[in-house]
Structure 1
């Protein structure tokens, strides 16, 4: 769909206007994201490696502290931080879109200039959701396994062969899915919007949610695509995130440009 499409949703004064998009726009944005990564791979590999190393640090910490049962919840929650890490990738795509050649000075400078601004509050909001996610994991462990928690020895068998374990997995995944959907709704547009224009982080989150509500089918498809890509990329010790993050980050920028007039 052309970015100048007149099909938009009404907005109040000073609110960004949301366009209606289709599944073809998701495919076009993904192709543009891959093109950005191939044009300037060094930036994508840098931020992707940084993100992957964060996952390895989490994995190593849980293993060294004998908290193996927290590996999966931490890995799942860690993916929520992706939109913040990808801010540098949005800047690369923005510069290329303007016909400018990205430089490390420009990209890092754009990120540094956001320090203490609205995008920092968005990062805090994402971090808060991550903390809520980890606390609800601890709460569910206490509810289903008592105050002593999940036994360290034989916990995989307990999870998959006992009523308490199965109930914990079902409820945990349902709560996790709800939090992931909330995170997706408030961040899919907000980070690139704050980088691109002057707005407060509340307006950015509202705009992001409006974009999802206005385009439920395409955005749900994009959310499922992100989930699948991150899941597969995380399996080989998070190493797949080196490529997955930059592709998803660049694609998010182009999707934002199609969504927000």
Structure 2
């Protein structure tokens, strides 16, 4: 539960079901088919960033660091999807879907609250990278294996490193998911500050823990699978999930 800038209460639903997730995915698919250019464009930004990171690490013989880098990608996915939320909002309201309006969504309702939340996400990714480097440094020192090959992960030390890093990364990702899954679409939809939006997002997750955490797990699994063929699967997965998250927000937050 949170308050808008005008003092009107924001109420979250407490009865979300798996059926709501299926309905959100179906609506997200329809939005993607109706406006594919926007989805491909925003997915392209995400894919380009991933490919640049891959080739940079590969060129410098640091392939092992692809694993923690890939773990941080889902954290920034919601911010990349901001434009998709605006496309879904405009399609739902019957408004024109111009590039200027959609790209301008990064400013939210014109008060830069989305950018401020984006800064929060950037800090989160930076924090994860620092933690991951610490974990990897400890295990790499013990293994005596270099960072130029993924063969490290086939060793007992590498498996232990994956287990520890995976557990820590999952906890960090879950936290950032909880504060952004509803807050970003809320900032696109209403005039609220980003702290209030984060509180509403947390309230929605607390009120529907199984469904909302299940949605987060589904997003993480789909994005991970979509990254495998040179990130190409993201051209469909990211837009559909982005549009679907908007529709889940509309179900989770009372109008």
Cα contact 2:27–2:247 (8 A) shared by 1:
yes
Residue segments in structure 1 that go unaligned for 5+ positions in a row? 1-9
- Alignment pair present for 1:42 and 2:19: no
Q: Which residue of 2 aligns with 1:202?
A: 195
1:167–1:101 CA distance, 2 compared to 1 (3 A): same
Deviations 1:125-161 (A, max 9, x none): 11111111111111112333339985235x5444332
1:145–1:109 CA distance, 2 compared to 1 (3 A): closer
Q: Which residue of 1 aligns with 2:60?
A: 65
Cα contact 1:62–1:71 (8 A) shared by 2:
yes
Matched residues in 1 for 2:242 and 2:90: separation?
A: 14
Matched residues in 2 for 1:113 and 1:14: separation?
A: 19
1:67–1:157 CA distance, 2 compared to 1 (3 A): closer
Cα contact 2:108–2:187 (8 A) shared by 1:
no
SS in 2 for 1:239: coil
- Alignment pair present for 1:111 and 2:102: no
Q: Which residue of 2 aligns with 1:25?
A: 20
Offset, 1:72: 1.6
Q: Which residue of 2 aligns with 1:218?
A: 211
Matched residues in 2 for 1:237 and 1:132: separation?
A: 26
Matched residues in 1 for 2:218 and 2:153: separation?
A: 28
**What is the alpha-carbon root mean square deviation over aligned residues?**
2.1
Matched residues in 1 for 2:105 and 2:250: separation?
A: 18
SS in 2 for 1:195: helix
1:171–1:53 CA distance, 2 compared to 1 (3 A): same
Q: How does 1:91-170 map to 2 (within 5 A)?
A: 91-111=86-106, 117-146=112-141, 151-152=146-147, 156-162=150-156, 164-170=157-163
1:90–1:24 CA distance, 2 compared to 1 (3 A): same
Q: Which residue of 2 aligns with 1:6?
A: none
Q: Which residue of 2 aligns with 1:180?
A: 173
Cα contact 1:141–1:150 (8 A) shared by 2:
no
Cα contact 1:190–1:201 (8 A) shared by 2:
yes
Offset, 1:94: 0.4
Question: Structure 2-normalised TM-score?
Answer: 0.91
Residue segments in structure 2 that go unaligned for 5+ positions in a row? none
SS in 2 for 1:237: coil
- Alignment pair present for 1:87 and 2:82: yes
Matched residues in 2 for 1:84 and 1:34: separation?
A: 19
Aligned partner (choices 216, 232, 241) of residue 248 of structure 1: 241
Deviations 1:209-233 (A, max 9, x none): 1111100111122112101210110
Question: Structure 1-normalised TM-score?
Answer: 0.89
Matched residues in 2 for 1:19 and 1:182: separation?
A: 20
